Amino acid sequence: MKNRIKDYLIITLGAVICTAGVFFFQMPSNLTMGSTAGLAIILAEVIPLKVSVLNLILSVGLLAVGLIFIGKDFGAKTVYVALLIPLLLAGMEALWPNVQPVMGDKLLDMLGYVFIVGGGQAILFLRNASSGGMDIVAKLLNKFLRMELGTAVTLSGLAVVCSAIFVFDVQTVLLGALGMFLNGLVLDHFIFGMNEKKRVCIISQKEDEIKQFILKELHSGATIYQAVGAYNDEPRREIITIVNKSEYARLMRYLEKEDADAFITVYSVNEILYKPKTIE
């Protein structure tokens, strides 16, 4: 129960961060960005309703369509966030009814939106939640048109961005498209960058010492493979370990000090699926 409460508190924090980015950076500069908030900003130019109200209508409508046609793929967390963000947006509209562009420049506001909302979205995704919205349209395209999910997300977002041409100028449309592209890059960095580990492969004459350092000092694991050198057919043993960024720095300092002649290759790893073992 405590873990569930903690989970939803973190998700709520992510939703607040996303909403703040939308309210303080996206809305004052009329940036579309290919989201339900962006579509609500466009519709607010022709429908006499607040952005938060239009966002709530869009979110509820898309959730209903998603639950009907996609079903169990939508978890409680996504439904929670999809409804929470419009309500938070309404609260901010009530507190700050005449909010002005924070940076006073659309490009700078777009960059502020990208980094703030990207961080909030990363928190949601890392907790297995999303903001719903245009993600639902993408999943529908994926299901019924057999379109790759990444392509579907891009196309649904571009459709929103391009529709802004009917109510805003070309500069706003181009900034929305650029923001959507940058948002994807920032989101990837937040999600994969925070979890990135290093796969270090070592061939050394000091195999036992290195193995003990990995096990006892880094409290990590290692796998040893038998290899054969192509030049002289001599057998070699290769140590492979996966470490986080701080462990990687310690390991490289140790190897530089203990065996400067070691043959080392390093790869970036973004995801690891395994059952941890307790090292005595």
Q: 254: pLDDT confidence band, cut at 50, 70 and 90?
A: very high
Span 239-264, mean pLDDT? 90
Domain boundaries, the chain: 2-194, 196-269
Q: Are strands 197-203 and 263-269 parallel, antiparallel or unpaired?
A: antiparallel
Its CATH class, for the domain covering 196-269, is: alpha beta
Q: Is residue 200 predicted with pLDDT exceeding 90?
A: yes
* pLDDT score of 239: 93
Q: Is residue 212 predicted with pLDDT exceeding 60?
A: yes
User: Which one has a higher pLDDT value, 153 or 168?
Assistant: 168
pTM: 0.67
Cα–Cα distances in angstroms (integers) from residue 227 to residues 39, 112, 249, in the given order: 57, 50, 26
Span 99-103, mean pLDDT? 83
Of the CA atoms within 13 Å of residue 260, those in its CB half-sphere come to 1
Residue 41, both tokens = 């900003």
What angle (nearest 5°) sits at the alpha carbon of residue 171, between those of residues 115 and 98?
65
Three-state DSSP class for residue 28: coil
